[in-house]
């Protein structure tokens, strides 16, 4: 995620794409993981922004 996303907008797009792919697999564990990531997405995106800032 840190390498793909240039900013929070792109991070959200990447999570959305991954979530759709994960749900389409039909694997129950991936569906649960997708829901968890969606519930925590704001915090994950903020940490991504902080990480990107610190590694510049």
Q: Is residue 3 part of a domain?
A: no
Average pLDDT value for the chain: 84
- 7 secondary structure, DSSP code: S
* Residue 49 CA from chain centroid, whole number: 12
For position 3, what pLDDT does the model report? 64
Alpha carbons 56 and 54: distance in angstroms, whole number:
6
Tell me, what's the pLDDT at 14?
86
> What's the mean pLDDT in 5-22?
86
Q: Structural domain tally of the chain?
A: 1
Confidence of residue 2 (pLDDT cuts 50, 70, 90): low
The most distant pair of C-alpha atoms in the chain lies apart, rounded to whole Å, by 38
Residue 12 domain-assigned (yes or no): yes
- The span from the CA of 34 to the CA of 39, in Å, is 9
Residue 11 — very low, low, confident or very high, per pLDDT cuts 50/70/90? confident
What's the domain range around 25? 8-54
Instruction: Tell me, yes or no, whether 42 lies in a domain.
Output: yes
**Mean pLDDT score, 14-30:** 93
């Amino acid at each position: 995620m840190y390498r793909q996303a240039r900013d929070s907008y792109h991070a959200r797009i990447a999570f959305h794409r991954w979530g759709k792919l994960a749900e389409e697999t039909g694997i129950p564990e991936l569906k649960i993981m997708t829901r968890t990531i969606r519930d925590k997405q704001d915090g994950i995106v903020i940490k991504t922004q902080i990480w990107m800032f610190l590694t510049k």
